[in-house]
Amino acid sequence: MIRRPWIVLGLISALLLASSFRYRVVLPGRNISFPQDHFSHPEFKTEWWYYTGHLKTDGGRSFGYQVTFFRYGLRDRQRDEKTSPPLFTDLYMAHFALSDKGKRRFFFRDRANRGYRGRAGALAHRYLVWNEDWKVEGRGESHVIYVQDRDRILKLRLTPLKPPVLHGQMGFSRKGEGRGRASYYYSLTRLQTEGVLEIGGQKEAVHGLSWMDHEFGSDQLGEDQVGWDWFSVQLENNTEIMLYLIRRQDGSVAPSSSGTLVYQDGTARHLTLKEFRVENLERWESPKSGGIYPMHWKISIPAEGVDLEITPFFPQQELDTRKSTRVTYWEGSVKVRGTYRKRPIQGLGYVEMTGYVERLRLSRRGHGDPLYDPAAARLRGPQANISGYR
């Protein structure tokens, strides 16, 4: 789907320099291959590597986690210099969050760095993305994550149990009308996860399942699109579901919203907006940001006999990055119950919701137009209540 560097675009609104450089446009027909497409794609403006998952410790505690690395290209906002190159051509951001399900506690940190002097980067010839001492890299078929902040350290090795899933049409994931309103998007929907979690000097082995998204493009969202709701679900029968709804200014859902159902054998079915239904059952108002979020859902895919109810482990899983990346969004661990082809089913998942506190903006308008629109922040009244669905 759209995930997610639009979450952090506010940092570049001050870069107003002209340039003749243009990033590549996302068009149908590109062949996505591995492991090469795990690597960075600097010819596209925006890219992110997103990991979410559920961990259990040997001591019986249960956590959700999010580790995300963003790259945002700046070459089209800098003058072409023939004698000396610019100091940096990309901005790198990273988010790290832990959800303690038992204690209902949420922790997150974020970082932003310019891509020079080795402080942050993403390689195009092998899989390595880093932001200071946070990093993810490929080791054989596995992905290795390391993040450390204050007294919290997370070290994980993730091994795919299924092949990569290409969303949309062979990885071409349309987000809106018009040329280039799309991304290249794939997921690793079931990753066996082993590692170590250390909190306050107490170190415990952890194990569980993770989900990885990788998406890159240059011009995804339209002028009338204000945010999205994204769902990932891992069911106990070895089936996974991804759905996203792109919300428009008038409260409707963009027709390009879609999803993917991944079967037990790793094959997948693309889902158009007409083939699934998402119903919001409850709302929650954040005491910190004032944002009003959907907080309990029913999801159905009638042709596949899927009827699920999704509930967060607790509501307070909002990331407020307004002091750094200038966006507030909700990303949290959820539990899943329902039926799959008339049989009871359970599972786990993650939900992300953007645009409920600030409106997200992304376009290829003239240089100097801010990508993050502070004038549209603090959506209240009817806009605050948009759920993006019936």
Taking only the tens place, the pLDDT of each residue in 339-374 is 999 999 999 999 999 999 876 544 433 322 223 333
Q: Note the pTM of the prediction, 2 decimals.
A: 0.87
**Token match 């949290």: residue?**
332
**Token match 């993917």: residue?**
260
Taking only the tens place, the pLDDT of each residue in 23-33 is 999 999 999 99
φ and ψ of 40, to 5 deg: -75, 150
Q: Are 76 and 26 in contact (CB under 8 A)?
A: no
pLDDT for position 362:
45
pLDDT for position 87:
64
* C-alpha–C-alpha distance, residues 27 and 24, integer Å: 9
pLDDT for position 359:
62
What are the residue boundaries of the structural domains of the chain, listed by start? 5-384
pLDDT for position 7:
47
pLDDT under 70: residue ranges of the chain? 1-20, 78-87, 178, 220-224, 322-325, 359-390
Q: Return the number of other C-beta atoms located less than 10 Å from residue 327's C-beta.
A: 24
pLDDT for position 88:
72
pLDDT for position 102:
96
pLDDT for position 223:
67
pLDDT for position 74:
85
- What CATH class does 5-384 carry? mainly beta
